Structure 1
Amino acid sequence: MTLEVLHPGAHSLLVDAGRPHSRSLGLPIGGAADQAAWKIANALVGNSPPQTALEIALSGPQLRATQDCVVALWGAPFDVRIDDTDIPAGRVMLLRAGQVLKIGGTPIGMRAYLTTPGGWIAPKILGSTSALAPIASGNPLTPANLPIPLPIRTNYLPEIQSARLLGNAASQTTNSAPTQLRILPGPHAQQFADVIWNERIFHVTPASNRMGLRLRGDPLRRTHGEILSEPVAPGTIQVTHDGQCIILGRDGQTIGGYPKIAHVIQADWDLLAQLRPEQALQLHPVSAADAHTALAARTQSLADWLARINASQ
């Protein structure tokens, strides 16, 4: 054992890339909700390809080192302390035996990822180490690479202190201005009266989780009857009987019976992971060509930053 869980936090879950090939079995994709933050956190400790990380949501855990351990945290700007010392974002931290890593709350965003060289040891279930339940007090977290690989750089890259430079999804969420999500029309869009998306503001309700975001807003009026259950995917926007929207996340089901009015483009999926309760958001229709261009640009930007981080180590 290397890290002892003194307090698990609100919802701290071991995750990897997920189970994209198991949807035919009725299993959600799972894995890191904010894939870019997960990959950057891994790059900070030299993990290429990225390994199993601890996804931290809203309020983080307290972890005591039972032996020396290297970790890094990236994503939403959580308050981080080692014993009584504040630690800046983007820093690779060397925990000495007996020290306590305290991850508090975050003023914006929702999730961040705690990584260690080689990743955290976790059992594989259907080809993935993504856990089915969060960690609990008393659980051990054990790095795959022990003893600590040397040399270890504990300095951080000055430029990554600016989350916006990395296109960090958490930095695009605020407590005032609505977060902007781009959407494509869904197969049942015509079943609703004319919807002027740009004139609507939604709020994320507390009844949201990794399965999906429940939104609160002016009800959408449907003009058709019931539909048969059909396949759904992360990013699908469904409308419930009371006219409210649900946006499915990475743990969302594979089949749903609510009408699908729209779909969040893949380039904005990481944003979904960083939307917190009562966060305001707006939905903006784009073309399929715009969606492809946005995904290509985000993929290239992330690849460039991962290369810069890896080259600096």
Structure 2
Amino acid sequence: MGFTVKQPGMLALLQDAGRFGQHRIGLTTGGPLDKRAFDLCNALLENPVGTTAVELSFGGLELVATEDTFICVTGADAPLTIAGEEQPLYTVLPVRAGDTVHLGFSENGCRSYLGVADGFKVTESFGSTSTVVREGIGGLQGGKLEAGDTLHCSAISTRKQLQLPAQHRPVYSDELTVRVIPGYQLSHFPRYQQRRFFSLPYTVSTRSDRMGYRMEGPEISCDIQGILSEGICLGAIQVPADGQPIVLLNDRQTIGGYPKIGAALSLDLALLAQLRPGQQVHFTPISQHEAHNALHLAANNNVTALFEDLGT
């Protein structure tokens, strides 16, 4: 076995790196909203990239261990206890059979990732374990975790107790500037509308979810009301008839017919997904060259070199 879910929290989903190559049959990608925190969780546990973990929105998860193993929690700043003892985040921690693992409600950010040594054992669906509730696939029977569910994992007796020092951890604030690569439909937005979008603040709507973050703020209009449906990339910023932009995320539909002013840089989507309703977003344009450089620099940032081994 591994863990029994005692309290599932607001929204706990099993996620791996995502479901790729299935858009042709209408299945979306899924995967972790905050890829950076997800990857750090697996790297600290020395798991292969993309190993299945639990993504928890806002907190409130309680698990009871039925095997000895090691866990790690990254992402939102939320209180973590094991067997009633406070524990640090971004740290590989031992768990013994019978221990209760409790992750409280987050104080900064809203997405947490709980991983286990060697990952949770879940049957793949269309090449991935990622849960997409709208499509009813992945995870456990295609839905969010419920009280009484069992999360299977291997019994692990040894693991390096690695930790990412606090000064190198992601910082989640209540305001964010998102870099945007303008799209080919930008010319359909008059210059005044472009200036409004790139200079005035928006707030995150309460209607935001894993499909997309809806913005509330200045209305944006363009000279076309709709387009032929076409494929939608991660981070595409649609502008529907009400003029309120939507930044599309992992569980987005595979095609759509709303005009798009551009696409958010993927590096910024992790921080965007940590914002709560009511928090503020600014958009700023960047060139494809600048986006390429930012991605290249991020790919060459070896964060694992910063890990500390608490057992040495």
Query: TM-score, structure 2 length as denominator?
Result: 0.89
Alignment of 1:30 with 2:30, yes or no, is yes
CA shift, 1:224, in A, is: 2.9
CA shift, 1:310, in A, is: 9.1
1:186 corresponding residue in structure 2: 183
CA shift, 1:285, in A, is: 0.2
1:297 corresponding residue in structure 2: 297
Partner SS state of residue 36, structure 2: helix
Alignment of 1:80 with 2:80, yes or no, is yes
Tell whether the 8 Å contact from 1:43 to 1:50 is kept in structure 2 after alignment. Answer: no
For the residues of structure 2 that align with 1:233 and 1:80, how far apart are their CA atoms? 35
For the residues of structure 2 that align with 1:261 and 1:107, how far apart are their CA atoms? 33
Partner SS state of residue 107, structure 2: coil
Task: Give the aligned residue type for 1:136.
Answer: E
| Superposed structure 1 runs of 4+ greater than 6 Å apart | 310-313
Tell me which protein shows more strand as a share of its residues: 2
Match of 1:134 among 138, 141, 144: 144
Can you list the C-alpha shifts for 1:271-290, whole angstroms capped at 9, x where unaligned?
23222211211000011110
RMSD of aligned Cα (Å): 1.9
Tell whether the 8 Å contact from 2:7 to 2:62 is kept in structure 1 after alignment. Answer: yes
Tell whether the 8 Å contact from 2:224 to 2:259 is kept in structure 1 after alignment. Answer: no
Query: TM-score, structure 1 length as denominator?
Result: 0.89
Tell whether the 8 Å contact from 1:12 to 1:134 is kept in structure 2 after alignment. Answer: yes
Tell whether the 8 Å contact from 1:267 to 1:291 is kept in structure 2 after alignment. Answer: no
Tell whether the 8 Å contact from 1:63 to 1:102 is kept in structure 2 after alignment. Answer: yes
Task: Give the aligned residue type for 1:67.
Answer: E
How many equivalent pairs are there? 298
CA shift, 1:226, in A, is: 2.9
For the residues of structure 2 that align with 1:70 and 1:14, how far apart are their CA atoms? 17
For the residues of structure 1 that align with 2:239 and 2:149, how far apart are their CA atoms? 39
Alignment of 1:174 with 2:138, yes or no, is no
Can you list the C-alpha shifts for 1:224-259, whole angstroms capped at 9, x where unaligned?
333221211110000111110111001111101111
Tell whether the 8 Å contact from 1:43 to 1:310 is kept in structure 2 after alignment. Answer: no
For the residues of structure 2 that align with 1:123 and 1:180, how far apart are their CA atoms? 38
Unaligned runs of 5+ in 2: 132-141
Alignment of 1:256 with 2:261, yes or no, is no
Task: Give the aligned residue type for 1:182.
Answer: R
For the residues of structure 2 that align with 1:199 and 1:7, how far apart are their CA atoms? 43
Partner SS state of residue 247, structure 1: strand
For the residues of structure 2 that align with 1:253 and 1:244, how far apart are their CA atoms? 18
Tell whether the 8 Å contact from 2:27 to 2:254 is kept in structure 1 after alignment. Answer: yes
